[in-house]
């Protein structure tokens, strides 16, 4: 354990998960110590071994989200890069795109930049608990709407959006459906086929329990790579005689030496998640969320922002304390109780406007798969102590 | 290498590993090897198979929707 581990209660898993499961750090160390070569750049055995590690990660992600072809899993630095690849690549001036009012800036900023280039952006308002009505999505469709992009779950309130229903709607209307699974991959079951998801952006370092600097995009069968230009171009180790980017997957979208040390860790992490089972992770996190919601409800002055129902959200819970600045509460949680969480706007100003918590934001507790019921009780007791009493 | 082997020439090492694993799942022996000098390839590795498995390899590659450079017999 590091000196930071100690008594600290880490409740910031929505920002990045910690700790990582056994085997992740070991896989990364083993790559650096024993393999170390560049995949696809040479034919020797170390280079092939590096390529196998990357392919293990590809297969693991494909299995986790129900994708039949691991070659349609393309890796990048994070979900943000994947969302930029999808949105900037798909949308042309004159097109329209639909999103919810609960999106993270990883969606909103690319969309606002595209808006300046002539793409129409329609933001469907969610309720004050962050929930999205499918009928409102349908009503917001216009003749030039080409893509629907939705967060699977809010990074502020944990509210789970109805992706399967919107996926059906997108399919019925011939639209492409892009889902930001930064908060759900590994924590909430995802099936890209059953949910009608055409482009799934994921990050490796949250619910997938891998290292930072890993993520990517899963392309469904309805996405023709010929219509989706890459964000970056460069060396791939393939077609070296040509100065044009290869048109085949995954190389088209993976220019430059990949983060193999990170992907080795991700492959081990995803294997751990698959062995445990996403459904089992979800059950554990629902139980923790229910306990946390019940505990917070018993504290005078606490308002929980979100569905307030563990079944309808991830393990991310946002709250405010009457008359108290979230930043001050966050500082007291850390300094007096060793509880680490995130306060403020969580890179999601649109979501906070929807909730009515802009600009001061909220206090966000995000337990994870390694959080225990006792940890949740300790966090609730810390909030009660700061609030100064019970209801 | 011997006259009883062929090699599947691919465009990228990811395709080589995909083919290797699909063939292994069907019980076919195969191995990734550096591309022999007299054959051309972009990615540096190819999939060596028993020549008798060539029809199976073609079927597996078609089912996976993969484009390959070709299959060459080793001499």
Same domain, A217 and A184: yes
**How many distinct structural domains can be found in chain B?**
1
Q: Say whether A58 and B14 touch across the interface (CB within 8 A).
A: yes
Min mean pLDDT across A91-100, A126-135, B31-40 is at B31-40
Cβ neighbours, 10 Å, residue A385: 14
Q: A103 pairs with which residues across the strands?
A: none
Same domain, A270 and A283: no
Task: Note whether A280 contacts B: Cβ–Cβ < 8 A.
Answer: no
Where does a domain end: A222, A250, A276?
A276
DSSP A153: B
Same domain, A171 and A132: yes
Same domain, A271 and A310: no
Tens digit of each residue's pLDDT (9 = 90 or more) over B47-62: 999 999 999 999 999 9
Same domain, A151 and A298: no
Per-residue pLDDT averaged across A278-288, rounded?
98
Query: B24 is in which domain, residue-wise?
Result: 5-73
**A137 falls within a domain:** yes
Q: What is the pTM of this model?
A: 0.95
Same domain, A323 and A309: yes
Where does a domain end: A248, A276, A304?
A276
Tens digit of each residue's pLDDT (9 = 90 or more) over A60-96: 999 999 999 999 999 999 999 999 999 999 999 999 9
Nearest to A43 among B15, B44, B65 (CB): B44
Closest by Cα among B69, B17, B13, B68 to A236: B13
> From CA A75, how far away is CA A258, in angstroms rounded?
8
Q: Say whether A236 and B34 touch across the interface (CB within 8 A).
A: no
Mean residue pLDDT across chain B: 91
Same domain, A288 and A262: no
Task: Note whether A250 contacts B: Cβ–Cβ < 8 A.
Answer: yes
Same domain, A16 and A32: no
> From CA B16, how far away is CA A55, in angstroms rounded?
10
Query: A44 is in which domain, residue-wise?
Result: 24-276
* CATH number of the domain that residue A147 is part of: 3.40.640.10
> From CA A313, how far away is CA A28, in angstroms rounded?
32
Where does a domain end: A276, A308, A343?
A276
Q: Say whether B13 and A241 touch across the interface (CB within 8 A).
A: no
Same domain, A56 and A158: yes
**How many distinct structural domains can be found in chain A?**
2
* CATH number of the domain that residue B37 is part of: 3.30.70
Q: Are B4 and B50 in contact (CB under 8 A)?
A: yes
């Amino acid at each position: 354990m590091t000196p930071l581990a100690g008594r600290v209660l880490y409740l910031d898993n929505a920002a990045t998960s910690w700790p990582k499961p056994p085997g992740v750090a070991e896989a990364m160390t083993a790559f650096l110590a024993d393999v170390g070569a560049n995949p696809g750049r040479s034919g020797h055995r170390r280079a092939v071994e590096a390529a196998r590690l990357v392919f293990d990660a590809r297969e693991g992600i494909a299995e986790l989200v129900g994708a039949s072809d691991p070659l349609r899993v393309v890796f990048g630095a994070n979900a943000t890069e994947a969302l930029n690849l999808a949105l900037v690549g798909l949308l042309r001036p004159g097109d329209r795109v639909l999103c919810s009012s609960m999106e993270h800036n990883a969606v909103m900023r690319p969309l606002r930049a595209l808006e300046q280039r002539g793409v129409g952006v329609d933001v469907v308002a969610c309720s004050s608990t962050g929930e999205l009505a499918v009928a409102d999505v349908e009503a917001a469709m216009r003749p030039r709407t080409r893509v629907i992009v939705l967060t699977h779950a809010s990074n502020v309130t944990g509210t789970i959006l109805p992706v399967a229903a919107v996926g059906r709607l997108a399919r019925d209307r011939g639209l492409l459906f892009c889902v930001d699974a930064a908060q759900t991959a590994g924590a909430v079951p995802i099936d890209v086929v059953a949910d009608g998801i055409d482009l799934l952006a994921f990050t490796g370092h949250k619910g997938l329990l891998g290292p930072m600097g890993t993520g990517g995009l899963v392309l469904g069968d309805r996405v023709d790579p010929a219509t989706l230009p890459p964000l970056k171009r460069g060396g791939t180790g393939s077609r070296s005689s040509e100065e044009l980017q290869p048109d085949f997957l995954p190389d088209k979208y993976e220019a430059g030496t990949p983060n193999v040390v990170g992907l080795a860790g991700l492959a081990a992490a995803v294997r751990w998640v698959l062995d445990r089972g996403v459904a089992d992770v979800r059950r554990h996190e629902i139980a923790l969320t229910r306990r946390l919601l019940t505990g917070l409800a018993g504290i005078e002055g606490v308002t929980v922002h979100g569905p307030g129902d563990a079944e309808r959200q991830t393990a991310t819970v946002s709250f405010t304390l009457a008359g108290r600045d979230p930043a001050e509460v966050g500082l007291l949680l850390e300094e007096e109780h060793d509880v680490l969480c995130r306060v403020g706007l969580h890179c999601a100003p649109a979501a906070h406007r929807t909730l009515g918590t802009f600009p001061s934001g909220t206090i966000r507790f995000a337990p994870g798969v390694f959080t225990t019921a006792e940890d949740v009780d300790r966090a609730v007791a810390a909030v009660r102590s700061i609030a100064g009493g019970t209801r | 290498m011997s006259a009883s082997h062929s090699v599947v020439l691919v465009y990228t090492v990811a395709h080589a590993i995909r083919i290797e694993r699909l063939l292994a799942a069907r019980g076919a022996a195969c191995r990734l090897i550096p591309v022999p000098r007299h054959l051309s390839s972009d990615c540096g590795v190819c999939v060596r198979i028993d020549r008798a498995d060539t029809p199976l390899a073609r079927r597996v590659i078609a089912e996976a929707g993969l484009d390959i450079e070709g299959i060459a017999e080793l001499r």
